[in-house]
Amino acid sequence: MSDSNKPLNTDAMKKSFKILSSAVLGLAAVACSSPEKMAEMAENVSVQCDPAVLEVVANKIDATVSVTYPADYFHPKAILEVTPVLVYEGGEAKMAPFTYQGEDVKDNYKVIPSDGATISEKVSFDYVPGMEKSYLELRGVVKYKKKAIEIPTKKAADGANATYMLVNKNGKADYKADNYQEIIKQTAEGQILYTINSSYVRGSQLKSESIKAFQAALDEIKANERKDIVNTDIIAYASPDGGEELNAKLSDKRSETAEKAFGKVTKGHEVEAPVNVASVGQDWEGFKELVSESDIEDKDLIIRVLSMYSDPEVREKEIKNMSAVYQSLKKEILPELRRARFIANVEYTNYTNEELLTLIDENIDILDEEALLRAASVVKDNASKVEIYKKAIEKYDSARAKYNLGVAYICSNDLANAKAALAKADKDADWQNAMGVIALREGDNAAAAKYFAASGNATSKENAAVLDILNGKYADAAAKLASADNCCNKVLAYILTDQLDKASAAATCGCAKTSYLKAVIAARQGKADDVKKYINEASKDKDLAERATKDIEFAQYR
């Protein structure tokens, strides 16, 4: 039998195969673990980054990079320096290198064993403009004996999302409101007096000074185009002496005779408005008012009796017990309460906003404090507001104008004058908030936070949310802005907390920044057409148009 026909020795073959396989593996191990081969085999090293897309938070870019070194890759006597580098338009930022060593190196670096390992490191960079378009890479150098061998650079992540920087950092300071009334309620009044226990209207009463003044007032109202009589009240009373039932009947009779007298009083002074007739009975309120305004001895005691007792009979009895005082009451007070009043209820139509603007230019001195404050709120330009508030301070030493002057300067970003004006204003919650806005605009966020906390009003809460966004406390900002009327920052807070439905619902104002934020929402929802639409709208603002070309939010849509 020839050798070719001899049966195979399978045991010998298995043994030979094992020897060969071991040799091959041994060669591979030696090849991959040499320092030079560490550079050649760098593609076997894997890198992951969390987050995969870098993000700027509170002016920092922080991430965790995990590098997996496979088995038999790391030479036992090599040292590897890995330098994280953030490359961006205009430059690059380097961290100090992380250093690792093989198992046989006698040093104090992290050891990478021969059977491989995954090493995670924290990386951190201070944000500088330009990093919106960037990427993170790892640069490595293997050192062995006197050799230094560069290994291929590994890209770890793209960056950097800076959406939070869309926050409006100006802050908001509210003007104090005026008490200007478009319609001013006024009255014109005259009265007739009766003798004790009588409802007869004496002729002299129709010619009294009180009635003459009432008639003159009616004539003035009729001649004044700004005044209108809404209605007139005729109210009859009885003085609170004598029985309650008797006085009620007497008051009713006086209301009847007073109504007839009103017709005579207004003849030639016509009142074209409804007339309401009422009977009060005993006039305890009028009694209290007249006693309070009098010089009667023991008037405080009388008023105390009125507060202690509500029953009319008890009141009258207690007052009559003060015999000396009661004589004064009978002479000075009670006769004035046997009366009927004619009250014309008038509405005065105040200056319109347009008229106020005219008066500001032509006759500012006729305006009172409230009119000046309203006029300042109506004018459009800040310079005019400043001058009107100064006028209100000059004429009326207006506390609200002192504060509002500071706010007007804030709106012009004239912070030096704003601080000077606010130094003379009352230090209330609005003042604390306004000072916080100044600190915010000056970049003193710590001081701003203290002022907003001291204020505690609704607007300061909105402003504190700006600081939350700047500090990376997005959930806190969203909570503060939930009930606020602050469109852009509210939308942004919802985006940053991944509440995209709420962000869309809150995006109600039509400014360019809101359109930009809508584009961000659309990008995160994968709505390409909407991304294009809203970027086009936002591009009316040149800065936003430029930002969109680099914003990583839109990377997949470019």
Per residue in 402-453, pLDDT (tens digit) is 999 999 999 999 999 999 999 999 999 999 999 999 999 999 999 999 999 9
Q: Residue 241 has what pLDDT?
A: 86
In which element (H, E) is residue 69 found?
Answer: strand 60-69
Residue located via tokens 């806190």 = 476
Give yes or no for a contact between 207 and 215, defined as CB atoms under 8 angstroms apart: no
Q: Is the pLDDT of residue 398 over 70?
A: yes
| Residue 51: per-residue pLDDT | 96
Q: Give the up-direction half-sphere exposure of residue 181: CA atoms within 13 A in the CB hemisphere.
A: 7
pLDDT at residue 28 greater than cutoff 60: no
Residue 112 bridge partners (DSSP): none
CA nearest 152: which of 162, 141, 143, 168?
Answer: 141
Q: How far is residue 439's CA from residue 448's CA, in Å, rounded to a whole number?
A: 5
Split at pLDDT 50, 70, 90, the class of 312 is confident
Which segment of 16-30, 66-80, 406-420, 525-539 scores lowest on mean pLDDT?
A: 16-30
Reported confidence tier of residue 16, pLDDT bands at 50, 70, 90: very low
Tracing tokens 């409006």 back to the chain, one arrives at 168
What is d(CA 382, CA 517) in angstroms, rounded to the nearest whole number?
Answer: 29
Q: How far is CA 68 from CA 47, 73, 122, in A?
A: 6, 10, 15
The reported pLDDT for the residue numbered 357 is 95
Q: What integer pLDDT is reported at residue 314 of this predicted model? A: 83
**pLDDT score at 272:** 87
Question: 65 pLDDT band (50/70/90 cuts)?
Answer: very high
Percentage of residues of the chain with pLDDT beyond 70? 94
Give 236-287 pLDDT, tens digit per residue. 999 988 788 999 999 999 999 999 999 999 999 988 899 999 999 998 889 8
How close are the terminal C-alpha atoms of the chain, in Å?
A: 77
Nearest C-alpha neighbor of 453 from the set 441, 443, 439 = 439
At 69-128, the pLDDT tens digits run 999 999 999 999 999 999 998 899 999 999 999 999 999 999 999 999 999 999 999 999
97 CB-near residues (< 8 Å, 6+ apart)? 81, 82, 83
pTM comes to 0.78
pLDDT at residue 11 above 70? no
Give the E-state strand segments of 249-373 in sequence order. Answer: 275-282, 339-349
Tokens of 139: 């640069």
Domains and CATH numbers, the chain: 37-161 (2.60.40.150), 183-349 (3.30.1330.60)
Calculate Rg over the CA atoms of the chain: 44
Mean pLDDT value across residues 373-395? 96
The average confidence (pLDDT) of the chain is 91
Closest C-alpha to 525, from 489, 501, 497: 501
Count CB atoms within 10 A of the CB of residue 402: 21
Contact 207, 261 (CB under 8 A): no
Beta carbons within 10 angstroms of residue 475's beta carbon: 12
| Helix, strand or coil, per DSSP, at residue 168 | coil
DSSP string, 355-393: HHHHHHHH-GGG--HHHHHHHHHH--SHHHHHHHHHHHH
Residue 33 has pLDDT above 70, yes or no: no
What is the per-residue pLDDT across 134-170, written as a single tens digit (0 to 9) for each? 999 999 999 998 899 999 999 999 989 999 999 999 9
Distances (CA, A) of 137 to 59, 140, 384: 20, 10, 56
- Residue 6 predicted with pLDDT over 80: no
Q: Which residues, 6 or more positions from 332, have their beta carbon under 8 angstroms from its beta carbon? A: 294, 296
Digit-coded pLDDT (tens) for 465-512: 999 999 999 999 999 999 998 889 999 999 999 999 999 999 999 899
pLDDT at 323: 63
3-class secondary structure, 172: coil
Find, among 480, 489, 407, the residue nearest to 168 by Cα. 489
